[in-house]
Amino acid sequence: MTSKLLAVDRNSRTELWEIEPGVAALLPMVLDHYPSKLKRALTARRLAALTGSCKCGMTWDKDTAKKDETGKSIIEIEHENWCEATDENLKMLANKYAGRI
């Protein structure tokens, strides 16, 4: 997969990436001042989204996408429970560092 940064929104701290033609991802920025645990988890999530695989063994491709009610493709990425890129770990870290980053 070839990824290309399309836009950056510094207010919401997000980046819009084109993963391949017709496939885009809105990803959180990984800022230098973030605590190391949060940076590692966000970086793992980013790499999984941009490359289609994660060190935990999770893989995805656009052929596994589901369509939402507007016809947009939605890809659900499910990491292994121990992976730092899981939704649960990122929520825990966001709560832990809320107001400090």
Let me know: does 24 contact 10? Beta carbons within 8 Å: no
pLDDT in tens, the chain (101 residues): 678 999 999 999 999 998 888 788 889 999 999 999 999 999 999 999 888 889 999 888 777 777 778 877 777 788 999 999 999 999 999 999 988 77
Sequential DSSP letters for 45-61: HHHHHHHSB-TTS-B--
Give the residue carrying structure tokens 């400090």: 100
Distance CA 101, CA 92 (A): 14
Report domain extents, the chain: 4-97
